């Protein structure tokens, strides 16, 4: 079995022993069981040894759920989210929790920095596990704090993209803006319902085992962190909207400059087109009088160039050219 078992004394056991779990359940001693990418044997352990409800087991097997809390007779089932560890900080990590006053069982498919950090804290300085509700708070707080490193790079990257767009906008910048917006939307879909869920603990709207006035103070801290994460996500979404406007304005200005150049070229070439078109007609005057090189140079070269010069002077005085 993959994962670890942390008993009341803060001793971590990397190998999960079914007999040890049964002994802890019988004695009523609080422990934390973390299952990483569980297999069928581990789900059988949850079903047979812990006796979890079939619907809770089914929920724990299905990942991609929204943060929620479901109450059963002797435990609650929670779905919480955190951010993945570096370098893939934009990916979400889903953690399923079976919680009661006798145990905390976490189920996850991927590395969760919140779970790892909390386990390492007890491994570095072994100590008795805190009250069950406090350990749940510590886990929720660690998962909430894992969002901050994931958002730390957004501000600097948005400023860098905006500077690059002002210098030379490309399709790569547009793709990056859209990719960042999609990542922020995914983060908000996880953080917003999780914030509301923790808000139920703060307001006493949830019958969480062991939740008292002192525990509410701890969860109020988690609630404050999630509000900050939500505000950061909204701020970065607004900044990306502004960067998108800058990109579109820059592209539009560049297109206007190109159109202006093309219009000037067309306008400057207009006298040449008119003159050459006029002298290309088969009128008798043209045939009789333009029969020598001086006449050709006068009518066919000097006159069009003179018209071109007059038009250039006119455009420059108008400030167009």
Whole-angstrom Cα distance, residue 246 to residue 258? Answer: 18
Domain shared by 178 and 66, yes or no:
yes
Domain shared by 313 and 175, yes or no:
no
Cα separations in angstroms, 309 against 27, 270, 306: 103, 12, 5
Stretch among 115-119, 147-151, 224-228, 259-263 having the lowest mean pLDDT: 259-263
Domain span including residue 310: 279-317
pLDDT digits (tens, 9 = 90+) for 9-38: 656 666 667 888 888 888 888 888 888 888
Confidence at residue 1, expressed as pLDDT on a 0 to 100 scale:
46
Domain shared by 305 and 201, yes or no:
no
Whole-angstrom Cα distance, residue 140 to residue 144? Answer: 6
Domain shared by 229 and 284, yes or no:
no
Domain shared by 111 and 175, yes or no:
yes
Domain shared by 301 and 206, yes or no:
no
In a domain, 274, yes or no: no
Section 198-207 average pLDDT = 79
Which CATH number do you get for residue 98? 3.30.460.20
Domain shared by 83 and 211, yes or no:
yes
Domain shared by 304 and 166, yes or no:
no
Section 209-227 average pLDDT = 88
Whole-angstrom Cα distance, residue 259 to residue 265? Answer: 10
Nearest to 222 by CA among 136, 149, 150: 136
Percentage with pLDDT > 70 across the chain: 79
pLDDT digits (tens, 9 = 90+) for 67-108: 999 999 889 999 999 988 766 656 789 999 999 988 889 999
Section 258-267 average pLDDT = 72
The count of structural domains within the chain is: 2
Domain shared by 20 and 167, yes or no:
yes
- Partners of residue 99 on adjacent β-strands: 76, 104
Confidence at residue 158, expressed as pLDDT on a 0 to 100 scale:
87
Domain shared by 283 and 243, yes or no:
no
Q: Do the beta carbons of residue 321 and residue 315 sit within 8 Å? A: yes
What's the whole-model pTM score?
0.74
Whole-angstrom Cα distance, residue 98 to residue 112? Answer: 16
**Phi, psi angles (nearest 5°) of residue 250:** -65, -45
């Amino acid at each position: 079995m993959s994962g670890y078992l942390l008993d009341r004394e803060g001793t971590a056991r990397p190998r999960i022993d079914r007999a040890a779990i049964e002994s802890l359940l019988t004695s009523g001693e609080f422990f934390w069981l973390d299952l990483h990418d569980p297999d069928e044997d581990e789900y059988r352990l949850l079903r047979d040894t812990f006796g979890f409800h079939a619907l809770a087991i089914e929920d724990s097997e299905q990942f991609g759920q929204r943060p929620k809390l479901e109450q059963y007779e002797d435990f609650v089932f929670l779905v919480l989210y955190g951010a993945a560890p570096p370098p893939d900080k934009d990916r979400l990590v889903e953690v399923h929790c079976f919680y009661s006053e006798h145990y905390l069982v976490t189920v996850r498919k991927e590395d969760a920095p919140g779970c790892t950090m909390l386990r390492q804290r007890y491994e570095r300085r072994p100590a008795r596990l805190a009250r069950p509700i406090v350990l749940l708070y510590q886990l929720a707080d660690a998962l909430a704090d894992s969002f901050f490193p994931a958002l730390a790079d957004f501000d600097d990257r948005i400023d860098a993209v905006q500077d690059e767009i002002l210098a030379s906008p490309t399709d790569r910048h547009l793709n990056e803006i859209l990719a960042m917006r999609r990542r922020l939307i995914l983060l908000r879909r996880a953080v917003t319902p999780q914030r509301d869920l923790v808000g139920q603990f703060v307001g006493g709207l949830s019958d969480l085992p062991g939740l008292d006035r002192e525990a509410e103070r701890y969860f109020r801290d988690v609630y404050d962190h999630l509000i900050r994460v939500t505000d950061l996500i909204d701020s970065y979404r607004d900044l990306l909207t502004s960067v998108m406007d800058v990109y579109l304005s820059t592209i539009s200005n560049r297109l206007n400059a190109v159109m202006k150049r093309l219009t000037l070229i067309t306008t400057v070439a207009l006298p040449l087109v008119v003159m050459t078109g006029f002298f290309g007609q088969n009128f008798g005057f043209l045939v009789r009088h333009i029969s020598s090189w001086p006449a050709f140079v006068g009518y066919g070269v000097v006159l069009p160039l003179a018209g071109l010069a007059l038009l250039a002077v006119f455009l420059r005085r108008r400030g167009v050219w």
